[in-house]
Amino acid sequence: MLCEAARMRIATWNVNSVTARLPRLLAWLDSARPDVLCLQELKCTDDAFPTEQVRELGYEVASHGTGRWNGVAILSKAGLDDVVRDLPGQPAYDGAIEPRAIGATCGGVRLWSVYVPNGREPGHAHYDYKLDWLAALNDTVAADTAADPSRPLAVLGDFNIAPTDDDVWDIALFTESTHITEPERKALAALRDTGLADVVPRPLKYDHPYTYWDYRQLAFPKNNGMRIDLVYGDAAVAGAVSDAYVDREERKGKSPSDHAPVVVDLDR
């Protein structure tokens, strides 16, 4: 059984500061009504997370943030059990374990909200950290699957990797950049080797379902974007997908995040 309810809507969104985006977050939860929302880049401490406002909409909250540039959370109407903060064996950067992963079981589905390191540039220490971090994610998925093979599992979040050349607006501009390098894409392939698949099909309702657009140089109006916010699920999750979309409307208007939510509907 996939989950306790006949249908389940899961979503992921890099909000680029939950406090700055709070009015939009609350309005989106009320309109999109996901059963589970994975958030990234909270930029707040756990004490500062708007838990009460979110609870008023019926969500339980598990957050993991230190108030700097990272932070992840899971908001759930489908239960919130077995919460784990950080990946087992997660590497440190500059001597600190950054809050980039949180896992929980919601409605019988094991979910991880992840904010993969950016990597900065090939050859940088942060790039090596990114690859080490992805290896720890791979190990975590494999261990979770081995611990309960019958439990559906999905990893949602900002992966900071474009899976294919078609997932960036101009591949020629990225020849010396992160996000598209062979080692990063091999790390995604290793994740698929654990039994996961990218469950958001392409194309959707438009040719390029990007999820991120820089604030600068009119990137969004020009649709100069990247697809780096992903939902990777095991066979049980992938087989239950009835719909999926990128909510581009949330990248419009006043004070948006530079990322749009990605929504996946599951039907057992």
Q: Which residues make beta-bridge pairs with 155?
A: 112, 232
d(CA 83, CA 70) in angstroms, rounded, equals 18
Cβ-contact 145, 109 below 8 angstroms: no
| Residue 1 belongs to a domain | no
212 lies in a domain? Answer: yes
pLDDT per position as a tens digit, 105-130 = 999 999 999 999 999 999 999 999 99
pTM to 2 decimals? 0.95
List, in sequence order, the alpha helices (H) in the chain: 22-32, 51-55, 125-147, 182-193, 219-222, 235-238
Contacts of 190 (CB under 8 A, 6+ apart): 134, 135, 138
- The angle formed by the CA atoms of residues 105, 146 and 91, to the nearest 5 degrees, is 75
CATH number of the domain residue 73 falls in = 3.60.10.10
Kindly state whether residue 97 falls inside one of the protein's structural domains: yes
Give the count of domains, the chain: 1
- Is the confidence at residue 205, as pLDDT, over 60? no
Q: Supply the DSSP symbol for 165.
A: G
In a domain? residue 216: yes
How many residues in the chain? Answer: 268
pLDDT of residue 249: 95
Q: pLDDT (tens digit, 9 = 90+) per residue, 130-177?
A: 999 999 999 999 999 999 999 999 999 999 999 999 999 999 998 889
* Dist. CA 153–CA 3, nearest whole Å: 11
